[in-house]
Structure 1
């Protein structure tokens, strides 16, 4: 009889300055059961970097606008802090934002207006790509 082992959950770090967005995305991820889990939430760039270093998540979901901070400018720092794939999650769906995010090292961009399934699929794809 084969031995079945369950894959560990995809560990996700959420970075957004809006607590309502953090709560909504956390609930969405938690609806996936044991396939993925939120390992931490940050509302500032400094918190994001500290959590990325200490938690070493599989995927980081990063907002472009973190109050007075440029979320995209964090991408290279986050890439140095841990091995996570970064998904930019934003209202800004223009070509310039997408090109800048990808040039800085993001794996994907998902708009906040997209269905939740799009974000979940992007998390799975990003985790598989970095595995």
Structure 2
């Protein structure tokens, strides 16, 4: 009889200054079964950097505006201490924001107006993003 092994879940760090968004995205991810799980949540840049370096998540879902802090400026700082793929999740999904996020090393930009399935698909795709 073949031995079936389950892949470990995708570990996700959520970074958003709005607790309602964190709660909603956490519920969305947890409703998807064992394929991914929220490893931690951060509400500011300092907390995000500390958690990214300490837990080493697979994917970070990062908001652009962290209560006046520039979330995109975190991308190179996160990459300096963590190999996580970054999906920018924002209400400010303009062409300029998208271009800047990708140039800084994000693998995708998803609008907060997108469907939950689009965000989940972006998180899954991020784990296959080339180095």
Q: What residue number does 1:93 align with? A: 93
| 1:85 and 1:130 in contact (8 A); partners too | no
1:87, 1:93 → 2: CA distance?
12
Report the TM-score, using the length of structure 2 for normalisation: 0.97
Could you tell me which runs of 5 or more consecutive residues in structure 2 were left unpaired when the two chains were aligned.
none
Deviations 1:108-128 (A, max 9, x none): 000000000000000000012
Q: What residue number does 1:39 align with? A: 39
Deviation at 1:129, TM superposition (A): 2.4
| 1:84 and 1:130 in contact (8 A); partners too | no
Deviation at 1:130, TM superposition (A): 5.6
Matched, 1:11 2:11: yes
Deviations 1:30-66 (A, max 9, x none): 0011110000000000000000011000000000000
Q: Secondary structure at the match of 2:39?
A: strand
Aligned-pair Cα RMSD in Å: 1.1
1:39, 1:121 → 2: CA distance?
18
Report the TM-score, using the length of structure 1 for normalisation: 0.97
1:29, 1:124 → 2: CA distance?
11
Runs (4+) of structure 1 exceeding 6 A deviation are none
